[in-house]
Amino acid sequence: MQSFLSKNDIKLSQEFEKKGYIIRNISNKKALKKIKNLFIKFIKKELKISKKIKSHYLLNNIHKFLTTRNLNSFRIKLINHINNTEEFKKLYYLLSKNYLEVLVGNELVMQKRINLSIQIPNDNSSLLPVHSDVWSGDSPFEIVVWLPLVNCYRTKAMYILPPKKYQKFEKKFSKIAKRDSEYVFQKIKKNIKWINISFGQLLVFNQSLPHGNRINLEKETRWSLNCRFKSIFTPFGDKKIGEFFDPITLRKISELGMNYSLPKVNEKS
């Protein structure tokens, strides 16, 4: 098949296909700074924390200012806050725009609400068991942009099963499909890839591959955002446009074409 993609685009695409994800430095520092400052301002106000405390310390050590009991209600407040902030979704999109255009396309829909994960040390209430989003009805045409607000490593991060390992796992899937997620994790444990990623970078990954997290055994808290994108003209799963996704970069001729209807012909004339 003929391709007019640039060498850099092809290289990026091949890396994504081989690894199931890409990690890249964020070039739009201004957008990233606005996103982080929005969090810091809200956290300090909500928890009545001194403005003198540095942002990186606050995020990594939020468990010193917040109890496990109050964690989820605090997280929900933050999720509502960022999603009710007018420019937040656009800032988030701009961080990954260049990579989305290569891997997904330039006429996109974006998840209506951006998700937030706060995983404090030794807490088992914020776990995401091994899963593939497609197994629960998502479209295989979706891609996830995962943004850390702190450095994430080992159990402070997420894991993913690489494509080659998944191909072997897939052949055995029918035998373990009815078992619980912990059983599935133990079967793939030796083959998973832990994502090591620093603040200032972003992760774009294939959500069709099994992924998840475990109890955070590190001394610091994990903060990460995630949001799904897909091309508006690819098949949708259970999550539909207008319900779960919003169009964000629809081009004019596509809009006109979608609204076009042939003129009526009077057969008697």
CATH number of the CATH domain containing 177: 2.60.120.620
**How far is residue 2's CA from residue 86's CA, in Å, rounded to a whole number?**
41
In this prediction, residues 53-80 reach a mean pLDDT of 95
Judged against a pLDDT cut of 60, whether residue 152 lies above it is answered with: yes
Q: Which of 118, 110, 109, 48 is nearest to 83 (CA)?
A: 110
Residues in the chain: 269
Whether residue 120 contacts residue 216, with contact meaning beta carbons closer than 8 Å, is answered with yes
CB contact set of 15 (below 8 Å; sequence gap of 6+): 22
Tens of pLDDT, residue by residue over 15-27, are 999 999 999 999 9
Does 191 reside within a domain? Answer: yes
Instruction: Report percent pLDDT > 70 for the chain.
Output: 99
Query: In 198-219, which positions are buried (b, 16+ CB within 10 angstroms) versus exposed (e)?
Result: ebebbbbbbbbbbbbbbebebe
Does 225 reside within a domain? Answer: yes
**How far is residue 13's CA from residue 7's CA, in Å, rounded to a whole number?**
10
Domain count, the chain: 1
Judged against a pLDDT cut of 60, whether residue 218 lies above it is answered with: yes
In 3-state terms, what secondary structure has residue 72?
Answer: helix
Tens of pLDDT, residue by residue over 97-130, are 999 999 999 999 999 999 999 999 999 988 999 9
In this prediction, residues 150-175 reach a mean pLDDT of 93
Does 218 reside within a domain? Answer: yes
Judged against a pLDDT cut of 60, whether residue 269 lies above it is answered with: no
For residue 255, the model assigns a pLDDT of 93
According to DSSP, residue 77 is labeled H
Tens of pLDDT, residue by residue over 239-267, are 999 999 999 999 999 999 999 999 988 77
- The token duo for 219 is 């001394």
Does 263 reside within a domain? Answer: no
Instruction: State which residues form the domain around 35.
Output: 9-250
- The token duo for 110 is 């974006």
Which residues make beta-bridge pairs with 34?
A: none
In this prediction, residues 29-50 reach a mean pLDDT of 96
Average pLDDT, the chain: 94
Does 266 reside within a domain? Answer: no
For residue 35, the model assigns a pLDDT of 97
Judged against a pLDDT cut of 60, whether residue 74 lies above it is answered with: yes
Does 267 reside within a domain? Answer: no
For residue 171, the model assigns a pLDDT of 87
Does 163 reside within a domain? Answer: yes
Does 120 reside within a domain? Answer: yes
Report the Cα 188 to chain-centroid distance in Å: 22
For residue 191, the model assigns a pLDDT of 96
Judged against a pLDDT cut of 90, whether residue 91 lies above it is answered with: yes
The pairing of beta strand 201-205 with beta strand 245-247:
unpaired
CB atoms closer than 10 angstroms to residue 256: 9
For residue 268, the model assigns a pLDDT of 67
